[in-house]
Structure 1
Amino acid sequence: MSDSVIKHVKMGRALFWTSCLSEPLFTLYGLVAFILYKDLGASAFQITILTCLKPLITILSFYWSSGIGGRFKKNVVLAGIFMRVPFLFCLWCDSSWFLIAAAVNYMFFFRAAIPGWMELVRKNVREESRGRLFSLSSAIGYLEGIVLSLGLGSLLDQDPSLWKILFFSAALLGLVVVVIQAKIPVDEEEEKKERLSLKELLLRPWKDSYQLVRQRPDFANYQWKFMLYGFGIMLIQPALPIFTVDKLGLSYTELTAGISMAKGLGFALSSPLWSKKMEQVSFSYLASWVFLTVGAFPLLLTCSLWGVGWFYLAYFWYGVGQGGSHLISHMAGPIFAAKEESSRYTGVGVALGGIRGAIAPPLGGYLSFFLGPIEVLLLGGFFCFYSGVTLLRSRYTRSTLMAPKRTD
C-alpha cells in the first residue's frame, strides 16, 4: 500500500477508537454539576462558577491552539494527557473545588485540541472520505454516550460515591486514546517562534484571525451566519428546563427518553445522510439547511403543549439537526482551508463559540424570567431560521451551489 493509503487507514482507525474510548469521560463530564450538588454538597455559588467558567475557558483555549506552530500531533497528544490526568486523583480527593478545577481543565484542553485534531484529519484522510468517516465515528460515539448516560445514571443512583472510581477508570481508558493518536503518521515541520511581548502574545491570535476573515469573505460570511445560529441555540438553553418542568410537567423518565434516546437516535440516523449530502452540494448550502433544520426544533417543542408526542418528535428532530451541526462545525476548517493549514480556520470557530457562550445563556436566562420560556424558544428559532435563509440566499452559496464535487 502507498503511504497515503496507510495514513488514510490508520487515521480512520484513530477516529473510531478516539470516539469510542473518549466517550465515557465525556459522558461523566456532563454529570459533573449533578455529582457536585448531590454527592459533594456543592453550593449554588460553586455551580454558578462552573457554569460561568465554561465559555471563558473556551475563549482561553484559543491561545493554546493558536500557538500550535505546525506541531499538530504534539498539540493533540499533550492536550489529551493534560485533560485526563487530574481525574486520576479523584480516588484520593473528594473536594468539590478539585472536581470543578478538573472539569474546567478538561474543557480547556478538549477545546484546545480541536484545531490540531482536525488538521490531522485533513492531512491524513482523503477529501472525499473525510465527512463520511467523521460522521460515522461521531454517530458511534453518540450512541455509546446514550447507553453510558443511562447506565452511569443508574449506577450513581444506587451508590453516588462511585463517581470517584468511574472518573478514574474513564480517565485511564481515555489515556489509551493518547497512545493511539501518538502513532498517527504525519509530516510536521515545527515553525520557528519569534520572541513576543506579553501584549503581542495576547493580541496576535485575534489579529491573525481578523486578517483571515478579511482575506476570506466566504469564510467570514459562513462564520457570521454560524454565529447567529449558535447564538440562537445557546439562547434557548436556559429556557429548556423551565419549559419542560413548568409548562409540560414531565417526569425524569420522559425527559431521559426525549433528551437522550430520541435526540441520540436522530443524531445517529442522520449523520451518515448529512455526510453523503456534503459530497453532493456546496458546504454553505449544506450549512444553511442545517440551520433551518435546527430552527424547527423550538417550534416543534412548543407544540408539546398539546401532547408529549411532540416532545419526542422535537428532540428527535433536534438530533437530526445536531448531526449536521456537529459535522459542519468540525469540517468547516479543513474545507475552507483546502490545501492550507486548517488550524487557523478551526481556531476562529472555537473562539467565536466561547464568545457566544459567554453572552447567549445568561441573556436567555434573563429573558426567560421576564418574557417567559416560550417567547425565548421562538426567539432562538428565529435566529436559526434567519441565519439559514440569509446563508441560503448569499452570493457565496449561490455561486458554488452547482460546483462539481470531487468523486475520484
Structure 2
Amino acid sequence: MEKLTREEIKSLLLLSISSLFDGITQGILVLQESIAKKALFASNFDISLIGVIANGTMLFSFFISYFFSNKNKKTLIIAGYLFCRAIFIFSFLISNSRIFLLFLFFFHVLFSVQVPVFNSFLQSKFKNNRGYVFGITRMILIFFIMITSYFAGKFLEISPSKYKLLLSLVAVPSFFTYSIYFYLESGNIYPKRNLKEESTIKTDITKITKNKDFVFFEIAFMIYGFAFMIMVPAVPIYLLQKLKFSYSEMSFVQGILAQIVIFLLTPFIGRLYDKINVWKVGTFSFLTLVLYPFFFFLSYLFNTKLFVYPAFLTYSLGLAGINVLWNVGSITFSKKDSNSFLYQGFHVSLTGIRGILGPILGYIILSTMGLIWNFIFSITLFAIASLVNFLYSKKALITNN
C-alpha cells in the first residue's frame, strides 16, 4: 500500500465521517419490512414491493450518471437530500403500508445517485489504494448500521407505536452525510467539453458493451443478482410470518449477524482488491453465498430458527467480497476510459433491472410453489454464478494495480 498524501488523508477523514452518519441513516431502516409487517400490517405482496423499491430504483442510476458524467453534481446532491432524506420529517403522515412504500421509494431512489457519487470520489480523490479507502469507509458504515439497527429494534420492542418518530430521525444524520458530499464535490474541477466531444447514450453504452471483461463481469453479477433477489421477499416473510421473529430478533439477524463478517473482513478484502484478480473474489463470494439459501432450506425442512443464524453469517461472509466488487469493481474496468462514474451507473442500473424482476419472481414462486422453492432456485443460481465467474477467470487477465 502506498502512503496517502495529505489531501488524500483529508478526503479519507471526510468520507469516514460521512459514512458514520450514513450508517445511522441506513441502520434506522434495516427494519423496514418489520415495520411494514408488524406496525402497518403489510401484505406479502407489499413486502415484495419493498424489495422492488429497494433495488429497482437503481435503474435510474445510468441515466443520472450519463447526464452528470464529468459535470458538477452539487445541485444533484442538494436536491437528493431535500427530496429523499429531509422528506422523512413528514413521517407522521404514514398511516398505512402504501404511504410507507412511497417514503421508502424516495429513500432508496437516492442510492442511484449516492453510489456513483461516492465511487467518483474514490477515483477523483485517490490516486491509489482505493480498495483500502473503500474498506475503511465501509467498515465505519457497517459498524454504525449494526449499532443503530440494534437500538432501533430495542426501541420498537419497547414502543412499537412510535415507529413514526424513529423514521423522522432519518433527516438528521443524512444532512451531515450530504453536506460532506457537497463539500467534496465543490473541490472537483471538470474540464469543459466541446460539442465534438459530447457523447450520446447510444455511444456510451456501445463503448461499455465492447469492454468484454466488463460484460462477463455483469453476466455473472446478473445471475448472482437474481439468486439474491428471489430471496428478498422470501426471507422477511419466512422470518416474520412462519418463525414469528420479534423486532429484536430481526434487528439481531439483519442488522448484526448479516453485517458482522462484512464489518470484520471488508478492510482486509479491500486491501486484497488492490492486489488480486477480481474474478477470484467473485468466484469465492458467489460460492459462499450458496450456503445462505441452503441454511434457510434446512430451517424450513426442520421448522427451526437454529439454521437462520448460520444462514446470515454465511450471507455476511459472501457479501464482504460482493460489496467491494459491487461498489468499486467498475474502476477496474473503466481504467482505459477514466470514467468510473458512467461504468458504475451502468452497473447499478442493471441492479435496478434485476431489482424489479427478481422480487416479483420471488413473490410468484412463493405464492405458487411455496417458500422452499425460493431457497432451491436461489441455491442453483448462486452456484451457476460462481461457475461462470470461475470459467471466465481462466481467460481474463485483469490485474488490480
Coarse TM-score class (shorter-chain normalised): 0.7 to 0.9
Number of residue pairs aligned between Structure 1 and Structure 2: 389
* Greater alpha carbon shift after TM alignment, 145-154 vs 348-357: 145-154
Residue 295 of structure 2 is matched in structure 1 by 300
1:373 shift after superposition:
2.5
Residue 362 of structure 2 is matched in structure 1 by 364
In 2, Cα distance between equivalents of 1:71 and 1:89:
32
Q: TM-score, normalised by structure 1?
A: 0.83
Which gives a bigger RCO, structure 1 or 2 (Cα 8 Å, sep 6+)?
2
In 1, Cα distance between equivalents of 2:55 and 2:66:
17
- Matched residue type, 2:387: V
1:94 shift after superposition:
4.4
In 1, Cα distance between equivalents of 2:276 and 2:263:
21
* Greater alpha carbon shift after TM alignment, 93-102 vs 114-123: 93-102
> Where do residues 170-319 of structure 1 align in structure 2 (5 Å cutoff)?
170-184=170-184, 185-189=187-191, 191=193, 205=201, 207-208=202-203, 210-241=205-236, 243-244=238-239, 249=243, 251-252=245-246, 255-304=250-299, 305=301, 308-319=305-316
* Greater alpha carbon shift after TM alignment, 22-31 vs 330-339: 22-31
1:66 shift after superposition:
2.0
Say whether 1:122 aligns with 2:119: no
Structure 1's unaligned 5+ residue stretches are: none
In 1, Cα distance between equivalents of 2:234 and 2:162:
31
Residue 158 of structure 2 is matched in structure 1 by 158
Identity of aligned residues (%): 21
- Matched residue type, 1:64: I
Residue 325 of structure 1 is matched in structure 2 by 322
In 2, Cα distance between equivalents of 1:221 and 1:29:
33
- Matched residue type, 2:189: D
Residue 381 of structure 1 is matched in structure 2 by 379
Given that 1:81 and 1:178 are in contact with CA atoms closer than 8 Å, whether structure 2 keeps it comes out as: no
Residue 21 of structure 1 is matched in structure 2 by 21
Structure 1 residues 171 and 254: alpha-carbon distance in aligned structure 2, compared to 1, 3 A threshold: closer
Structure 1 residues 376 and 165: alpha-carbon distance in aligned structure 2, compared to 1, 3 A threshold: closer
Given that 1:87 and 1:167 are in contact with CA atoms closer than 8 Å, whether structure 2 keeps it comes out as: yes
User: Secondary structure of 1:187's partner?
Assistant: coil
* Greater alpha carbon shift after TM alignment, 23-32 vs 133-142: 23-32
User: Secondary structure of 2:162's partner?
Assistant: helix
Given that 1:27 and 1:148 are in contact with CA atoms closer than 8 Å, whether structure 2 keeps it comes out as: yes
- Matched residue type, 1:276: R
- Matched residue type, 1:144: F
Structure 1 residues 161 and 379: alpha-carbon distance in aligned structure 2, compared to 1, 3 A threshold: closer
In 1, Cα distance between equivalents of 2:370 and 2:44:
23
Structure 1 residues 72 and 5: alpha-carbon distance in aligned structure 2, compared to 1, 3 A threshold: farther
* Greater alpha carbon shift after TM alignment, 282-291 vs 48-57: 48-57
1:302 shift after superposition:
2.7
Residue 131 of structure 2 is matched in structure 1 by 131
Structure 1 residues 10 and 59: alpha-carbon distance in aligned structure 2, compared to 1, 3 A threshold: same
Structure 1 residues 280 and 58: alpha-carbon distance in aligned structure 2, compared to 1, 3 A threshold: closer
Structure 1 residues 277 and 81: alpha-carbon distance in aligned structure 2, compared to 1, 3 A threshold: same
> Where do residues 51-200 of structure 1 align in structure 2 (5 Å cutoff)?
52-74=52-74, 75-90=76-91, 93-94=93-94, 96=96, 99-127=100-128, 129-184=129-184, 185-189=187-191, 191=193
Structure 1 residues 37 and 254: alpha-carbon distance in aligned structure 2, compared to 1, 3 A threshold: closer
Given that 2:27 and 2:148 are in contact with CA atoms closer than 8 Å, whether structure 1 keeps it comes out as: yes
In 2, Cα distance between equivalents of 1:47 and 1:242:
8
1:324 shift after superposition:
1.1
Given that 2:286 and 2:385 are in contact with CA atoms closer than 8 Å, whether structure 1 keeps it comes out as: yes
Structure 1 residues 72 and 330: alpha-carbon distance in aligned structure 2, compared to 1, 3 A threshold: farther
Structure 2's unaligned 5+ residue stretches are: none
Structure 1 residues 47 and 233: alpha-carbon distance in aligned structure 2, compared to 1, 3 A threshold: closer
In 1, Cα distance between equivalents of 2:27 and 2:55:
19
Structure 1 residues 51 and 261: alpha-carbon distance in aligned structure 2, compared to 1, 3 A threshold: closer
Structure 1 residues 236 and 330: alpha-carbon distance in aligned structure 2, compared to 1, 3 A threshold: same
Alpha-carbon RMSD across the aligned residues, in angstroms, is 3.2
Given that 2:294 and 2:379 are in contact with CA atoms closer than 8 Å, whether structure 1 keeps it comes out as: yes
Q: TM-score, normalised by structure 2?
A: 0.84
Given that 1:56 and 1:358 are in contact with CA atoms closer than 8 Å, whether structure 2 keeps it comes out as: yes
